[in-house]
């Protein structure tokens, strides 16, 4: 035994690198990360915090809500549903036949009374109801490449079923969206004076400039056996046909408004506007409503009380909750960090 250890001592001492300074310990290195001692703030949701947060939200929300409501209230809006009115009494039983019959004159006259003074610009909207512009089959039925680029007229993928004409030449703009373009028209007269409707600048600039090409012209549009909606001027490039551009920014909900044009003239209260409209668009098939909307605008946009009401309600609710919590706090305060609240103190058996 000893001899072996003696003989072993010799060669092993030869390895000199053993003496190099190094750490032999497996002690983990200290760092705040590994010891989980990173500096942290530890917010505790104390009653004071709860009350102050509710109060703060209330303080911020109520004024915003009131401002929004005022903005919304300052907007004057005339809404007129005309699809039921602009139908001859004899055709009421079969509205679809009426609307699909091209031979019948669709002109219809409506008189609208201005409730309050309306400052220009006055926006003219049409509102459709039960029209599923957000239906999957509808939304995808377009081809953005074709709309943008004259060279890509043949790109009609996704445009089913309005891709090509019967002889196979591509339709520009293809797809169901363009095909079903809204085609009611409105003319406004105030007394004897004709109110001109400006149909420029009704679409978002980004759409106009980037999505619809300057040199793309409608081709083979509405040439099929079934006409969906409005026709387009084949001599006007797509980016000038703003009604199409507006229409093609598909709406999120089945009830939607789209901008028809702008009237650059102030209207006075009790003025009567006569609207001469062509009731061409078929909403009778699917029991959709058609409405004409004249509206002014505020900094917030059109008439929509929702934001204002929401803000005021939430703000009010917060005030209410803050008060309620304060009352509870005053009546039956909970001592912070009361050990008697600990479950094992409440129930010594620990069950």
Q: Which of residues 162-201 bind another protein (CB under 8 A)?
A: 162, 176, 179-180, 201
The CB-of-28 to another protein minimum distance in angstroms stands at 4
Strand-pair partners of 189: 194, 274
The one among 102, 206, 235, 331 contacting another protein by CB under 8 A: 206
3-state secondary structure of 320: helix
349 near another protein (CB under 8 A): yes
Q: Is the bond into 21 cis (omega within 30 degrees of 0)? A: no
Q: Which of residues 32-51 bind another protein (CB under 8 A)?
A: 32-47, 50
Of 245, 249, 216, 226, nearest to 100 (Cα)?
Answer: 226
The residue count of the chain comes to 351
Pairing outcome for strands 272-278 and 107-113:
antiparallel
Tell me the CA end-to-end span of the chain in Å, nearest whole number.
Answer: 63
The one among 62, 68, 87, 216 contacting another protein by CB under 8 A: 68
320 near another protein (CB under 8 A): no
Q: Which of residues 82-111 bind another protein (CB under 8 A)?
A: none
DSSP 8-state code for residue 170: B
52 near another protein (CB under 8 A): no
The one among 192, 306, 330, 331 contacting another protein by CB under 8 A: 306
The one among 3, 90, 103, 235 contacting another protein by CB under 8 A: 3
The one among 90, 105, 111, 343 contacting another protein by CB under 8 A: 343
The one among 142, 275, 277, 312 contacting another protein by CB under 8 A: 142
Of 293, 285, 337, nearest to 76 (Cα)?
Answer: 293
DSSP 8-state code for residue 219: B
The residue range among 15-23, 102-110, 214-222, 267-275 that interacts with another protein, by the rule CB under 8 A, is: 15-23
The one among 109, 285, 320, 327 contacting another protein by CB under 8 A: 285
The one among 76, 173, 295, 312 contacting another protein by CB under 8 A: 295
The CB-of-23 to another protein minimum distance in angstroms stands at 5
Q: Which of residues 217-256 bind another protein (CB under 8 A)?
A: 226, 228, 246, 249-256
302 near another protein (CB under 8 A): yes
Cα–Cα distance measured from residue 192 to residue 142, given in angstroms and rounded to the nearest whole number: 42
307 near another protein (CB under 8 A): yes
49's tokens: 């915090």
Cα–Cα distance measured from residue 281 to residue 289, given in angstroms and rounded to the nearest whole number: 11
267 near another protein (CB under 8 A): no
Q: Report the side by side order of strands in the sheet with 290-295.
A: 77-81, 290-295, 122-128, 256-263, 197-198
Cα–Cα distance measured from residue 199 to residue 196, given in angstroms and rounded to the nearest whole number: 9
Q: Which CB, 61 or 82, lies closer to another protein?
A: 61
The residue range among 104-112, 154-162, 186-194, 213-221 that interacts with another protein, by the rule CB under 8 A, is: 154-162
Q: Which residue has the tokens 């004899």?
A: 90
């Amino acid at each position: 035994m000893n001899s072996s250890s003696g003989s072993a001592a010799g060669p092993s001492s030869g390895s000199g690198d053993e003496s190099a300074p190094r750490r032999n310990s497996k002690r983990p290195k200290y760092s705040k990360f590994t010891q989980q001692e990173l500096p942290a703030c530890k917010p505790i949701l104390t009653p004071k915090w709860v009350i102050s947060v509710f109060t703060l939200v209330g303080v911020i929300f109520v004024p915003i809500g009131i401002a929004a409501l005022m903005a919304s209230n300052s907007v004057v809006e005339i809404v007129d549903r005309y699809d039921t009115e602009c139908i001859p009494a004899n055709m009421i039983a079969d509205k679809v036949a009426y609307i699909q019959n091209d031979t019948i004159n669709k002109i219809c006259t409506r008189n609208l009374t201005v409730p309050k003074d309306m400052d220009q610009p006055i926006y003219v909207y049409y509102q459709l109801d039960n029209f599923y512009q957000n239906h999957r089959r509808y939304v995808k039925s377009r081809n953005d490449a074709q709309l943008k680029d004259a060279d890509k007229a043949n790109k009609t993928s996704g445009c089913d079923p309005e891709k090509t004409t019967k002889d196979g030449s591509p339709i520009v703009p293809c797809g169901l969206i363009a095909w079903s373009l809204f085609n009611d028209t409105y003319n406004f007269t105030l007394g004897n004076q004709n109110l001109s409707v400006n149909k420029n600048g009704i679409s978002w600039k980004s759409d106009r400039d980037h999505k619809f090409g300057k040199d793309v012209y409608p081709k083979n549009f509405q040439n099929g056996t079934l006409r969906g909606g409005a026709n387009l001027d084949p001599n006007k490039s797509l980016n000038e046909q703003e009604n199409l551009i507006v229409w093609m920014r598909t709406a999120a909900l089945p009830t939607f408004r789209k901008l028809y044009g702008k009237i650059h003239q102030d209207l006075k209260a009790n003025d009567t506007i006569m609207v001469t409209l062509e009731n061409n668009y078929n909403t009778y098939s699917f029991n959709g409503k058609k409405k004409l909307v004249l509206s002014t605008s505020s900094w917030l946009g059109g008439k929509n009380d929702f934001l204002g009401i929401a803000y005021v309600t939430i703000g009010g609710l917060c005030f209410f909750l803050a008060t309620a919590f304060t009352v509870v706090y005053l009546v039956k305060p909970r001592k912070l960090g009361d050990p008697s609240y600990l479950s094992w103190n409440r129930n010594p058996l620990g069950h």
